[in-house]
Amino acid sequence: MPTTPTTPHRTLYLVQSAATAWQAAERIQGATDLPAAEDGLDAVRKAIVDFDVATSINLIAAAPDEASRQTAKVIAAATAPTVKVKSVNTLEEMNLGLWQGLTRKAFAERQPKVFSQWRTDPWRVAPPEGERLEETETRIRAALAKLVGKSDAAAAIVIVLRPITLALAKAQITGEDVTTWLGREDAPVVEKFELDPDTTRALRSAQRPKRISA
């Protein structure tokens, strides 16, 4: 009796952009465009061992900031030298407005209630002269839909993001709330997801998927 062919799972690597000097100083960066610190790039180089060399990579996309592009180029050079890094403007980190440049300590001292709410219920917080989380989520969903839709199912996708957009992407893939991922100190630099067909279809339509294998 003939067997029904199975649809392959699609491999997606989400990578946290190399840390910058502001991050090392615990300064709120948001959409401020800064280069990666050398120790941040070293952490990326060490994390590349988590890539499955048996799976070819046909797409490496990065947020448009310098640190994310540097990170993507390090990955491309080590794993897929023939693949050109694609800078995607809609993957830009959330604009945190007037919070940008403040140290986390100063923010917590000046606005303790807002600081606490940002950690527990960021959907209700609006950074002054910045972007609401819903706005960032909308463009990240659209960007993921486009990138997943264009890629070859037999090859892996790599997407490099800053911390907040990375949390939103993981929430979109897993169906969990962004607070599960936001601000996690133990978050790995590289995280691999195997997207089943239902999840892939949901991402392509920019809808929240129902299930995920990780």
Predicted pLDDT at 4: 46
41-98 residue pLDDT tens? 999 999 988 777 657 899 999 999 999 999 999 999 999 899 999 999 999 999 999 9
In a domain, 136, yes or no: yes
Domain with 197 in it: 10-95+132-204
82-97 residue pLDDT tens? 999 999 999 999 999 9
Residue spans of the chain under pLDDT 70? 1-8, 53-54, 151, 185, 206-214
Predicted pLDDT at 199: 78
In a domain, 127, yes or no: no
CB neighbour class for 162 (10 Å; exposed up to 12, middle 13-18, buried from 19)? buried
Domain count, the chain: 1
In a domain, 183, yes or no: yes
pTM for the model stands at 0.89
Predicted pLDDT at 203: 79
In a domain, 83, yes or no: yes
Contact predicate 143/168, CB 8 Å? no
In a domain, 107, yes or no: no
CATH code (residue 29): 3.40.50.1240
Contact predicate 93/30, CB 8 Å? yes
In a domain, 1, yes or no: no
Strands 190-195 and 10-16: antiparallel
